[in-house]
Structure 1
Amino acid sequence: MLRNTKSGYGWVAITFHWLSFALLILLTLKGLSFEDMPKGPEKLAQIGNHKSMGTIFMLLILARLGWRAANPKPTPLGDNAKMNRISAMVSGALYGLLLIQPLSGALMSQAKGYPVQVFNLFEMPILVGESETLAGLFSQIHHTAWMLIVALVLLHVVAALKHHFVARNDTLKRIFVPRRG
């Protein structure tokens, strides 16, 4: 089953979910790996790879949002309307941050005077000119978005575990294997 149903996620949504998570982990590790590297060609190569992966990540999130808009959202298994609203708000915030994060990284790079080459296949359009002030602003946004993403992902994981171990419903299982109907 490729498409979502009211009772669960389809293979496409499940693949988007786990691919996004895996790429987010890789981007985080890559970003942290060059923080303390001395300036030089190796650091520039690592940053270039991070920017390429970040661009792919942003395109993946846009595709994921498109798929989400075209498919039904499975009915929440929790019966607490307030918690369901909070869950929807956290989900919306997380999607927003998952777009802000790579976009702010690209804008930071451009404001520092560096283009965003994507695996040497193409270059992202220049959206901002070189500006130390903007580079600092986008750097702060990039860092803050990352911290908020980490917090919301942890909240997401805790909520999924609560559904599984405390509420004992199939919320967690639905993101691993599609359900029919």
Structure 2
Amino acid sequence: MSLINTRQAYGWIAIALHWVSAVGVITLYLLGEQMEEATTRPDQIAAQATHVSVGLLFITFLATRLFWSFSQPHPESLERNLWLRRLGTAVHVVFLLMVLALIVSGPLTVLSTGRPLAVFDWFAIPNPFGRVGWLHEAGEVVHKAAAKLFWPLIALHVGGALKHLVVDRDRTLVRMLWARS
């Protein structure tokens, strides 16, 4: 079984990165929603601290996912319809760009308040530049806009996977569930 991708199949590394990323991004999204829904200031601060801490722990993993995705060959699409194949490629690219925007804008939004990036009570990354109001506002806008893309992209992604499974009955979904020998 291959660790790396080929033109016929995904390798174990890509499959593991895909599924762990999916769980992590969903977790971070839900933590972000919890932060937005908090009704008291102490609850907001606690939810934000958890979101930031989990995000910082996960950021290296997501960056690895981005690097791996762009450095590996992708298996040839089994989609016969040119427009659906292009849509699938566009959804994947937008997903990766969304993740990149989130992992850049999230830390910048916190750092631009003048605070360090704290990871639970374990350690903190010092703030290199202090409070920068315009950067904080821009970071929040980018972070929230990228997060709003989340559910429509999930719907398109899952819908495409189900189409391949139920309608086309091809190996598209199977290729992302386990690597072939």
Deviation sequence 1:30-80 (CA, Å, 0-9, x none): 11122224122x543432221122123332122112223443211111122
1:127: Cα distance to partner? Answer: 5.9
Deviation sequence 1:106-131 (CA, Å, 0-9, x none): 11112222221234454446465413
> Any idea what SS the aligned residue of 1:117 has?
strand
1:39 aligned residue? 41
Given the superposition, is the C-alpha separation of residues 58 and 150 from structure 1 closer, same or farther in structure 2, using an over 3 Å criterion? Answer: farther
Whole-Å separation in 2 of the counterparts to 1:124 and 1:179 = 41
Unaligned runs of 5+ in 2: none
Deviation sequence 1:2-45 (CA, Å, 0-9, x none): 222222212211111110111111111211122224122x5434
Higher RCO, 1 vs 2 (CA within 8 Å, ≥6 residues apart): 1
> Any idea what SS the aligned residue of 2:75 has?
coil
**1:51–1:118 Cα contact (<8 Å) kept:** yes
Whole-Å separation in 2 of the counterparts to 1:137 and 1:71 = 32
2:23 aligned residue? 22
Whole-Å separation in 1 of the counterparts to 2:57 and 2:10 = 23
1:155 aligned partner, one-letter code: L
Larger mean CA deviation between 106-115 and 116-125 belongs to: 116-125
Whole-Å separation in 2 of the counterparts to 1:8 and 1:125 = 42
Given the superposition, is the C-alpha separation of residues 85 and 32 from structure 1 closer, same or farther in structure 2, using an over 3 Å criterion? Answer: same
% same residue: 34
Following superposition of structure 1 onto structure 2, how do residues 134-153 of structure 1 map, counting pairs within 5 Å? Answer: 134-153=135-154
TM-score (structure 2 length as normaliser): 0.86
Given the superposition, is the C-alpha separation of residues 125 and 7 from structure 1 closer, same or farther in structure 2, using an over 3 Å criterion? Answer: farther
Q: State how many pairs are aligned.
A: 179
> Any idea what SS the aligned residue of 2:149 has?
helix
TM-score (structure 1 length as normaliser): 0.86
Unaligned runs of 5+ in 1: none
Larger mean CA deviation between 133-142 and 88-97 belongs to: 133-142
1:146: Cα distance to partner? Answer: 0.3
Whole-Å separation in 2 of the counterparts to 1:131 and 1:122 = 23
Given the superposition, is the C-alpha separation of residues 117 and 6 from structure 1 closer, same or farther in structure 2, using an over 3 Å criterion? Answer: same
1:171: Cα distance to partner? Answer: 0.7
Whole-Å separation in 2 of the counterparts to 1:127 and 1:145 = 25
**1:58–1:103 Cα contact (<8 Å) kept:** no
1:93 aligned residue? 94
Following superposition of structure 1 onto structure 2, how do residues 25-104 of structure 1 map, counting pairs within 5 Å? Answer: 25-35=26-36, 36-40=38-42, 43-104=44-105
1:155 aligned residue? 156
Whole-Å separation in 2 of the counterparts to 1:90 and 1:7 = 20
> Any idea what SS the aligned residue of 1:166 has?
helix
Larger mean CA deviation between 28-37 and 146-155 belongs to: 28-37
Whole-Å separation in 2 of the counterparts to 1:128 and 1:86 = 41
User: Cα RMSD over matched residues?
Assistant: 2.1
